[in-house]
């Protein structure tokens, strides 16, 4: 078959090391299936900014435009002005209208020990999808930003179109994903006008999905509920800022941000997949970063963009089995070997190869 083009952003800090492990998984998939992948090197982020004065060069963006999907490593460096490197990911999201940010939060049975909660709060397990609006709100910088030494302002703007399409997407996930039956909306409608519009649209759209149970929460109430009863969450839909915060909180329920993947989705265009953690320059080059978030981002890519649900399920199974045999330092367990970044990737790739050969 014609090779699938994957634009690859190696990113900063630990990112080149974990992106290497993500590509390793794709290479195993190519070895045992009809899929073939061509990698397009599309530099972006802090190191690129240092070289050319732009964290998202036009040439890189053009390569992404030629791709079928984007695999993105985290960006950011401490010796650059705040936000300079991060403009790359915001620029990509806006350019490709990736209005859905998917953040699956799943606690593997083999890694229940990593969860900071007691068993009675975990229940039968944690398995949710946070569906975050990704194109509007504060991060879109609509109206610009004014900063002085004493005043700083940002505008949080939401449109009916932007709200409606993300809420419809959340209901579509709930309807089409086995085991997911409920949609929870998170807002701050008691204070914010844009959240009042959000809540009214949620209730109106929910009428079209009468078979799917719904509920809504203020974001502060949801944050404590996420800790007390995370097993009650299925599909959670929320705005850009709130989604950023609660998805990081939820990821810590897995014991480490290194466990969580993310997808920036345009259902009709080019989507981008990434781990949700940062570039962690303080541990770059030490070989201790957890590659599972990136490997699960590859799994998400295969499921969402290429609709390869069976292969995606095998990647998840390979991760589950590996967690019983070894861990990286952030999720280490007494009695199991502590693995390097490459060793963890190798073990997952080995297990995936065996599953694909069956």
Give me the mean pLDDT over the 329-355 stretch.
Answer: 97
> Do both 198 and 310 map to the same domain?
no
The three-state DSSP-derived secondary structure of the chain is CCCEEEEEECCCCCHHHHHHHHHHHHHHHHHHCCCCEEEEECCCCHHHHHHHCCCCCHHHHHHHHCCCEEEECCCCCCCCCCCCCCHHHHHHHHHCCCCEEEEEEECCHHHHHHCCCCHHHHCCCCEEEEEEECCCCHHHCCCCCEECCCCEECCCCCCHHHHHHHHHHHHHHHHHCCCCCCEEEEECCCCCHHHHHHHHHHHHHHHHHCCCCEEEEEHHHHHHHHHHCHHHCCEEEECHHHHHHHHHHHHHCCCCHHHCEEEEECCCCCCEEEECCCCCHHHCCCCCCCCHHHHHHHHHHHHHCCCCHHHHHHHHHHHHHHCCCCECHHHCCCCCCECCHHHHHHHHHHHHHHHHHC
Phi/psi-derived region of residue 156, left when phi > 0, alpha when psi is between -120 and 50, beta in every other case = beta
Sheet holding 272-275, edge to edge: 37-41, 4-9, 69-72, 272-275, 261-265, 100-106, 127-133, 235-238, 183-187, 214-218
Token code pair at residue 331: 């999720």
| CA atoms of 75 and 93, how far apart (whole Å) | 14
Report yes or no on 293 lying in a domain.
yes
Is 341 in contact with 18 (CB distance < 8 Å)? yes
How many other C-beta atoms can be found within 10 angstroms of the C-beta atom of residue 246?
Answer: 22
Report yes or no on 203 lying in a domain.
yes
Average pLDDT, the chain: 94
* pLDDT at residue 261, rounded to an integer: 97
> Do both 149 and 278 map to the same domain?
no
CATH number of domain containing 199: 3.40.718.10
Burial class (CB in 10 A: 0-12, 13-18, 19+), 52: exposed
Q: What is the pLDDT of residues 205-242, one digit of tens each?
A: 999 999 999 999 999 999 999 999 999 999 999 999 99
> Do both 97 and 58 map to the same domain?
yes
Give the residue from 174, 242, 234, 177 showing the smallest Cα distance to 208: 174
Report yes or no on 200 lying in a domain.
yes
Ranking 34-48, 139-153, 249-263, 299-313 by mean pLDDT, the lowest is 139-153
Report yes or no on 210 lying in a domain.
yes
* Per-residue pLDDT at 334 exceeds 60: yes
Report yes or no on 154 lying in a domain.
yes
| CA atoms of 1 and 36, how far apart (whole Å) | 7
Beta-sheet pairing, 146-147 with 152-153:
antiparallel
* pLDDT at residue 153, rounded to an integer: 79
Report yes or no on 349 lying in a domain.
yes
Last residue of one domain, picked from the residues 253, 268, 286:
253
Give the residue from 238, 219, 101 showing the smallest Cα distance to 167: 238
> Do both 192 and 132 map to the same domain?
yes
* pLDDT at residue 145, rounded to an integer: 58
Number of domains in the chain: 2
> Do both 214 and 128 map to the same domain?
yes
> Do both 243 and 289 map to the same domain?
no
Range of the domain at 42: 1-102+258-358
Q: What is the pLDDT of residues 16-71, one digit of tens each?
A: 999 999 999 999 999 999 999 999 999 999 999 999 999 999 999 999 999 999 99
* Per-residue pLDDT at 270 exceeds 70: yes
> Do both 188 and 166 map to the same domain?
yes
**Residues assigned a catalytic role:** 139, 188, 220, 244, 248
Percent of the chain past pLDDT 90, that is, above it, reads 89
Token code pair at residue 162: 């932007």
Percent of the chain past pLDDT 70, that is, above it, reads 97
> Do both 275 and 355 map to the same domain?
yes
> Do both 248 and 308 map to the same domain?
no
> Do both 237 and 161 map to the same domain?
yes
Give the residue from 25, 202, 56, 234 showing the smallest Cα distance to 131: 234
Last residue of one domain, picked from the residues 253, 282, 311:
253
Give the residue from 331, 305, 358 showing the smallest Cα distance to 26: 305
| CA atoms of 289 and 274, how far apart (whole Å) | 15
> Do both 25 and 52 map to the same domain?
yes
* pLDDT at residue 301, rounded to an integer: 98
* pLDDT at residue 144, rounded to an integer: 57
Q: What is the pLDDT of residues 117-170, one digit of tens each?
A: 999 899 889 999 999 999 998 887 655 556 666 777 788 999 999 999 999 999
Report yes or no on 228 lying in a domain.
yes
* pLDDT at residue 15, rounded to an integer: 97
> Do both 1 and 84 map to the same domain?
yes
* pLDDT at residue 293, rounded to an integer: 98
Report yes or no on 109 lying in a domain.
no
Residue 82: pLDDT band (50, 70, 90) is: confident
Residue 86: pLDDT band (50, 70, 90) is: confident
Is 323 in contact with 111 (CB distance < 8 Å)? yes
Token code pair at residue 100: 């859905």
User: Please, what sign has the CA dihedral across residues 254, 324, 351, 288?
Assistant: positive
Give me the mean pLDDT over the 179-185 stretch.
Answer: 95
Last residue of one domain, picked from the residues 187, 221, 253:
253
Is 256 in contact with 331 (CB distance < 8 Å)? yes
């Amino acid at each position: 078959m014609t090779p699938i083009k994957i634009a690859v952003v190696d990113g900063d800090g630990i990112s080149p090391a974990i992106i290497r492990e993500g590509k390793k998984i794709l290479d195993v998939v190519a070895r045992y299936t009809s899929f073939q992948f061509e990698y397009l090197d599309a530099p972006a982020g802090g190191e690129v900014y240092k070289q050319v004065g732009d964290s998202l060069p036009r040439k890189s963006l053009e390569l992404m435009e030629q791709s079928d999907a984007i695999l993105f490593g985290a960006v950011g460096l401490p010796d650059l002005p705040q936000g300079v490197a991060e403009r790359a990911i915001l620029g990509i999201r806006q350019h490709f209208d990736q209005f859905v940010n998917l953040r699956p939060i799943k606690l593997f049975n083999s890694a229940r020990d990593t969860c900071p909660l007691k068993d009675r709060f975990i229940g039968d397990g944690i398995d949710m999808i946070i569906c975050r609006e990704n194109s509007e709100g504060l991060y879109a910088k609509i109206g610009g930003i004014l900063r002085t030494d004493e005043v700083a302002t940002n505008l949080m703007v939401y449109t009916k179109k932007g709200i409606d399409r993300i809420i419809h997407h959340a209901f579509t996930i709930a309807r089409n994903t086995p085991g997911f039956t409920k949609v929870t909306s998170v807002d701050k409608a008691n204070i914010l006008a844009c959240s009042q519009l959000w809540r009214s649209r949620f209730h109106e759209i929910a009428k079209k999905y009468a078979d799917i149970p719904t509920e809504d929460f203020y974001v502060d109430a949801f944050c404590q509920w996420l800790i007390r009863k995370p097993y009650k969450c299925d599909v959670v839909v929320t705005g850009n800022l709130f989604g950023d915060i609660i998805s990081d909180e939820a990821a810590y329920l897995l014991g480490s941000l290194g466990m969580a993947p993310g997808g920036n989705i345009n259902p009709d265009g080019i989507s981008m997949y990434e781990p949700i953690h940062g570039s962690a320059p303080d541990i770059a080059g030490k070989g201790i970063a957890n590659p599972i978030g990136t490997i699960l981002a590859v799994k998400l890519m295969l499921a969402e963009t290429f609709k390869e649900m069976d292969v995606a399920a095998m990647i998840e199974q390979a991760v589950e089995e590996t967690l019983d045999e070894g861990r990286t330092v952030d999720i280490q367990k007494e009695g199991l070997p502590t693995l390097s970044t490459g060793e963890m990737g190798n073990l997952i790739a080995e297990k995936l190869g065996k599953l694909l050969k069956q």
